[in-house]
Every structure is written in C-alpha cells, then in structure tokens.
Amino acid sequence: MITVRAPGKLFIAGEYAVVEPGNPSVLIAVDRYVRVDLTPSVGKGSIHSEQYGRQPVVWYRDSNGIVVDHDMQPVDYILSSIATVEQLVSELGVTPRFYDLTVSSELDDVSGRKFGLGSSAAVTVATIGALNEFYDLELTRLERYKLAMLATIAVSPRASGGDLAASTFGGWIAYSAPDRGHAMTLRDERGVIGALRSDWDGLSVRRLAPPSALRLMVGWTGSPASTSRLVDNLQGRRWTDEVHYADFLARSRHHVEALITALDEDDAEGVKTAIRGARRTLGALDSAAKLGIETPALARLSDTAEAIGAAAKSSGAGGGDCGVVFVDVDADVSALLREWELSDIRHLALSVHPAEGGL
C-alpha cells in the first residue's frame, strides 16, 4: 500500500487579488492533513472516504477516459487528478493500471463540517503524490504542483492554486498564480509532460521565514463558506466596477508586499501593520462589491484580537470558515480565548507544517 499525506493551508494575505495572474499573496501550510492510501486493484478502481458517504465511488475507463457513476465535488478533484496523471502516463508510454484510493481527512470536524483549510487542494496534492509513487514518475515538487494545478483548473478554472502551492511546498510561502489560460495552452500544445517542463507566465513561489516574535492563532467560526460562490460574485461584479477592482488590486499588492518585506526583515510590528492593512482592503472590497467576506462572526474574531494588540483578519474566501491572528509571543491571550468561547468561535490548535524541500 502507498500512503501519502498532504497538509491543509491558510491564506494569510492577498486573497481574491491572487486569482489575477502575477498578484502576490502569502500562505502557510498547517499541520492537519488529508491522507490518501492507494492499493493496486484489477479491472476497476474505487474511491472510498467516510467524508463522501458510505458508498464507494466507482470509476472505470472507457475510450474517452475516466468515467464515474457518482458526482461529488471532492471526488471531482480526485478524478481530475487521476485523469491528468493518466494523460501523463500515456505520453510516457507506460501501461495504466487500476487502484483503490481511500481518503481520510483531518480538515473537517467530527460532524463533517469543513474548517476551510483547503481540503480539495490537499486531496488533489495527496492523490497526485500517491500516483507519482505508484507509477514511479519521480516528479519534482514543482512538477507535482503543476500537475495538481492542471487537474484543478479542469474542475475550477478560476482557482488561484495558492492552496495547492502551500500544500505542496509546506511552510510559509509568497505565491503569485500562473495565467491559467497559458498553462492550459501549454498542455494542449506540448502535452502534460511539455507543460510540466515549461515556464508558466505569472507563476512565482518563494519560501518565507516565519516571524520569530509572533504567535499565530486560528479561530474557526463553525459556519462553512462557499469559495466558488464568493469568487464568482466578485468576478461578475468586476466588469461593472473596474475602478474599484483596480484600486483593490493595487491596495492588496501594497499590503502583501509590505508583509513580505516585514517577514524578510523579521519585523513583527511591520507584519501586524500589513495584516491590518490587508483586513481593511478586504473590508473596502466587501462593502463595494457586497460579498459578505467578513461575516459578523469573523468581525468579532478579529475585533476581539485587535483589542489585545494583535492583528487579525479572515483567511481565504471568508464568508465563514477561519480567521487568522498574529499576537506577540509573550502576550496574555486568556481574555481573547474567553471572548471567543462566549462568541462560539473555536480556537483551532494548529501549527505551521514544516517547509518541505527547495522550491
């Protein structure tokens, strides 16, 4: 059996703007995982997971590629990963084989609610990792990220892939998304192998050092968010409000670049100032485009953190899920934790997943 785990992620800054190629963002990987176990099988493959119901999802192969008898979103990402690796394997002239995949996730709570830690991305990265071992592909980390990105764009064309990069590379990263149209053109013109070996317009990933004088805290609001709904709403809005959107992109870039500089200089105050700026920038976008990024629960989470001198903001699409807080390592956070408990905000005891390998 092959077992591969991939970590979840948190966006620290640059959300929404990052969907535009070349716009910077900062993410971390967290020490909670999606795990994929792969066992070889004969005649058909299957996908099992407690999260996706008791019935296994069965897939098979016909002349058009992978066929599935079940339609569920996380499964879409797994199947897209399988299909993308299938194309790679056929380009390499390797005979495709069947396998059963069993998925288990720590990125949901016991009742099955998602924390918003990037479970679709983590399952994609873990599936690609398992298939890389199964077929002895010896792909580099960057190639695995690109393969995961090709699989993801096929399901969700606007996804920035920041979550895939965090899950693939671990630790703290500065990330700018590739031009997805360019990536798909490369795939169509040069095949999957050619696309993996080419430079992708806009893509940039750089390792960042964590701030030594700040502690990261994560609060979970308990309400799930729909990233695709929020991103679609914003993209729909964009064409009717170019000026606001351009202003948002410029302000987001300013705060994310300030955050990256502060991290490079291990400047705790600079990090907090940049996080507060990023919160205000998302707030301005939120009121202009009426998206509902900062829900009342997320506002409470951040306001109570700011009241003790910390910097805080929603993470990812907002609309629920988690908020991130940066507080001085020696600060007393007991009052904050009490406030959170009174407001039904759960403190998630997460640490940053260690950085993995070079970039």
Per-residue string for binding with ligand MEV, 214-243, x by CB under 6 A? -------------x---x------------
Q: Which CB, 47 or 325, lies closer to ligand MEV?
A: 325
DSSP annotation string for 214-247 = EEEEEEE-S----HHHHHHHHHHHHTT-HHHHHH
No. of helices (H) and no. of strands (E), the chain: 10, 12
> Does 245 help bind ligand MEV (rule: CB under 6 A)?
no
- State phi, psi for 159 to the nearest 5 degrees: -55, 135
Q: Which CB, 3 or 235, lies closer to ligand MEV?
A: 235
**Continuous segment of H or E residues that includes residue 100:** strand 98-105
C-beta of 17: minimal distance to ligand MEV in Å? 8
Tell me which residues in 38-67 interact with ligand MEV (CB under 6 A). Answer: none
Q: Which CB, 18 or 327, lies closer to ligand MEV?
A: 18
> Does 320 help bind ligand MEV (rule: CB under 6 A)?
no
Using alpha carbons, select from 20, 10, 71, 76 the residue that is nearest to residue 216: 10
Q: How many residues does the chain have?
A: 359
Using alpha carbons, select from 133, 103, 129, 121 the residue that is nearest to residue 162: 121
Sign of CA dihedral 22, 355, 148, 315: negative
Q: Are 8 and 167 in contact (CB under 8 A)?
A: yes
- With CB under 6 A as the contact rule, which of the stretches 9-17, 30-38, 182-190, 207-215 interacts with ligand MEV? 9-17
Using alpha carbons, select from 149, 176, 171 the residue that is nearest to residue 13: 176
Per-residue string for binding with ligand MEV, 14-43, x by CB under 6 A? -xx-xx------------------------
> Does 316 help bind ligand MEV (rule: CB under 6 A)?
yes
Residue-wise over 292-304: b if at least 16 C-beta within 10 A, else e?
A: bbbbebbebbbeb
> Does 319 help bind ligand MEV (rule: CB under 6 A)?
no
Q: Which CB, 45 or 320, lies closer to ligand MEV?
A: 320
C-beta of 250: minimal distance to ligand MEV in Å? 17
Please give the Cα distance from 301 to 150 (Å, whole number). Answer: 35
> Does 324 help bind ligand MEV (rule: CB under 6 A)?
no
> Does 115 help bind ligand MEV (rule: CB under 6 A)?
no
Residue-wise over 242-272: b if at least 16 C-beta within 10 A, else e?
A: eebbeebbebbbebbbbbbebbeeebbebbb
Q: Which CB, 11 or 340, lies closer to ligand MEV?
A: 11
> Does 152 help bind ligand MEV (rule: CB under 6 A)?
no
> Does 205 help bind ligand MEV (rule: CB under 6 A)?
no
- With CB under 6 A as the contact rule, which of the stretches 13-21, 96-104, 277-285, 304-312 interacts with ligand MEV? 13-21
Q: 159, 186, 205, 271: which one contacts ligand MEV (CB under 6 A)?
A: 159
Binding footprint of ligand MEV, residue count (CB under 6 A): 12
- With CB under 6 A as the contact rule, which of the stretches 10-18, 210-218, 329-337, 341-349 interacts with ligand MEV? 10-18
Which residues contact ligand MEV by CB under 6 A?
Answer: 11, 15-16, 18-19, 159-160, 162, 227, 231, 316-317
